[in-house]
Structure 1
Amino acid sequence: MGTEVNKQQGAALVIVMVLLASALVMALIGMQAALVDERLAGNFRASIQAQMRAETAASEALVGWDELDWQGAPVLETPKATRFDDVGTYSNASVSHRCPHQSCFYMPIIYHGERWVMALGATFDGNGALIAQSLPLLVARKASGDAVAEEAVVWQ
């Protein structure tokens, strides 16, 4: 009878070790999933901030619509991939002063023969590296009679 008790105690030890190992693996998987979720949430936040900054620049452009310089405005007939880094190549681009760290700009463009403003926003890290940028946001002011309407399009 004494030998059976020793065998049972050895089996209990193995079972407990297997349960502990499986609990450890599950905990590690849970931590990894939480880290991935945290990164996703941070990236989503950065992209939403960039899009909001583009909207800030677009609203600033609409307020100053009559003062915009349309001479030399680029003509765009089809959606063009415009990157935030390209802002320096456009002479008529204006940096919005309502966005931190010069993270949004707007510029007048001619789109399908009409006057539009294209706005872009971005999010930067503490070192000034680009984290996220918005999609180009196009806004136009259309007047018909006494009414003035505003139209917005986001290129995707």
Structure 2
Amino acid sequence: MKQQRGAALVVVLSMLAMSLMLGLSGMQSSQIDERLAGNYKASAEAQMGAERAISAGWGVSGSGVSVSDFDATRTLAEVEAYSWTEFIALSDISANVCSGNIACHYYLLQDGGEYFIAGMGAVVSAGTLAALSQPVFARVEFTPGPNPAFTKGLLSADYILVTGQSTVMGNVHSNGTVDITLRNGSEATVTDGSDQMIEVPLPGTRPEGEDMSACDENPAPYCYKSYDPNVFDEYENREGVINTCSIDVDALNDGDTVFCDNDLVVSGGNIGSKRVTLVSTGNVTMNGATSSGGSESEIGLFVIAGQDIEFNGNTDNYGVFWAGGYVRQNGNSSLYGAIVAGTYIRSNGGIDFISIDNVTNPDTFVPAEPKIVAWY
């Protein structure tokens, strides 16, 4: 009996030891599972932070992005290889757009002709990085369309003066004054600087004497102009450009670009549906009509002058006319399309103007309407 009692004790102690070992093993397994779950949670939160950063960069319906916001000094491959420390050290990085123990930032990147919103997120616990996301990229495309300035009818940064009665269909605006007498039947919206000021984009450089330092209080009309001095380089260096300072519209083909590093003289002809761009660093003189197919025509002619544009004779002209200086019509005329002038628009005689926004020349287009087309 004593031997049997001793054997029972050994069996009980063995079972207790096995139970203890099983319990310890279970505790270790639970701790490992808990750590794994915590790491997975932190990793998921970091990744969601990266996506939240992209959402903040995108804004409401793309309101947070425009083409000029994207930095083109780095490539997509470079940013993909960045560590968290390198990413948040970028000069153009956003502020932290997450909260709590989650940090996240976005960066707007242009690689060639492609645009990306890059985002990274991290979980910070007691000052230590607990988890990092992989870089996330949203590729953004901008649907091009005519520059809004080229669909506004008559737009002058200084004043508009038309002698004689006129028929106008569309918008007329000057940041200075507007003096125009409209015939019955006109369907025009006429505004001037007393109603609102409109930013006027212009080719070339700002004239001397326009002191921008005086634009802080009670700004003059010229304060609402912006200039692009590099616009001429794009056309001068374009493949297939026609370098001449005298051109006949009838001699041009669809897609032609004419560049003159001086004053350009244009003889009239039939534009039809051709998309043609005429560029002068100086003045442009339009002699004769650039006729098209009627008031419902597509507007394919784009005329750019670093200084002034003048129309001579009683003509019909279809196009977008963009002048760093003034636009002046000598004689009665019909104009279809849009005019944007850096100083004044003046017609010595009546004018029949119909604003047509069916602009087809891609040189008038600017990127607009962003949309996210892919995620990486």
| TM-score, scaled to structure 2 | 0.36
Give 5+ residue unaligned stretches, structure 1: none
- Code of the aligned partner of 1:153: W
SS in 2 for 1:103: strand
Note if contact 1:60-1:96 (Cα within 8 Å) is conserved in structure 2.
Answer: no
- Code of the aligned partner of 1:52: M
Note if contact 2:71-2:108 (Cα within 8 Å) is conserved in structure 1.
Answer: no
SS in 1 for 2:87: helix
Pairing 1:108-127 to 2, within 5 Å after superposition:
108-111=108-111, 113-125=113-125, 127=126
Aligned CA distance change for structure 1 residues 29 and 77 (closer, same or farther; 3 Å): closer
Pairing 1:4-153 to 2, within 5 Å after superposition:
5-63=1-59, 64-66=64-66, 69-77=69-77, 80-100=80-100, 103-111=103-111, 113-125=113-125, 127-144=126-143, 149-153=371-375
SS in 2 for 1:94: coil
Note if contact 2:54-2:117 (Cα within 8 Å) is conserved in structure 1.
Answer: yes
- Give the drift of 1:77: 4.2
Q: Deviations over 1:72-109 (max 9, x none)?
A: 54222477322221134311111243434671101111
In structure 1, C-alpha distance between the alignment counterparts of 2:2 and 2:144, rounded to whole Å: 97
Aligned CA distance change for structure 1 residues 33 and 9 (closer, same or farther; 3 Å): same
- Code of the aligned partner of 1:136: P
Aligned CA distance change for structure 1 residues 134 and 112 (closer, same or farther; 3 Å): farther
RMSD (Å), alpha carbons: 2.5
In structure 1, C-alpha distance between the alignment counterparts of 2:69 and 2:94, rounded to whole Å: 10
Q: Please identify which structure carries the higher strand content.
A: 2
Pick the structure with greater CA Rg: 2
Q: Please identify which structure carries the higher helix content.
A: 1
Aligned CA distance change for structure 1 residues 112 and 93 (closer, same or farther; 3 Å): same
Aligned CA distance change for structure 1 residues 136 and 142 (closer, same or farther; 3 Å): same
| TM-score, scaled to structure 1 | 0.82
In structure 2, C-alpha distance between the alignment counterparts of 1:131 and 1:83, rounded to whole Å: 14
Tell which deviates more after alignment, 83-92 or 50-59: 83-92
Aligned CA distance change for structure 1 residues 48 and 112 (closer, same or farther; 3 Å): farther
In structure 2, C-alpha distance between the alignment counterparts of 1:98 and 1:7, rounded to whole Å: 72
Tell which deviates more after alignment, 15-24 or 98-107: 98-107
Aligned CA distance change for structure 1 residues 118 and 24 (closer, same or farther; 3 Å): same
In structure 2, C-alpha distance between the alignment counterparts of 1:34 and 1:112, rounded to whole Å: 51
Aligned CA distance change for structure 1 residues 88 and 53 (closer, same or farther; 3 Å): closer
Aligned CA distance change for structure 1 residues 135 and 152 (closer, same or farther; 3 Å): farther
- Code of the aligned partner of 2:92: N
In structure 2, C-alpha distance between the alignment counterparts of 1:30 and 1:53, rounded to whole Å: 34
In structure 1, C-alpha distance between the alignment counterparts of 2:14 and 2:71, rounded to whole Å: 75
Tell which deviates more after alignment, 103-112 or 34-43: 103-112
Note if contact 1:142-1:148 (Cα within 8 Å) is conserved in structure 2.
Answer: yes
SS in 2 for 1:104: strand
- Code of the aligned partner of 1:46: A
Note if contact 1:68-1:108 (Cα within 8 Å) is conserved in structure 2.
Answer: no
Give 5+ residue unaligned stretches, structure 2: 146-368
In structure 1, C-alpha distance between the alignment counterparts of 2:36 and 2:100, rounded to whole Å: 23
Aligned CA distance change for structure 1 residues 99 and 42 (closer, same or farther; 3 Å): same
SS in 1 for 2:69: coil
- Give the drift of 1:110: 2.5
Q: How many residues align?
A: 149
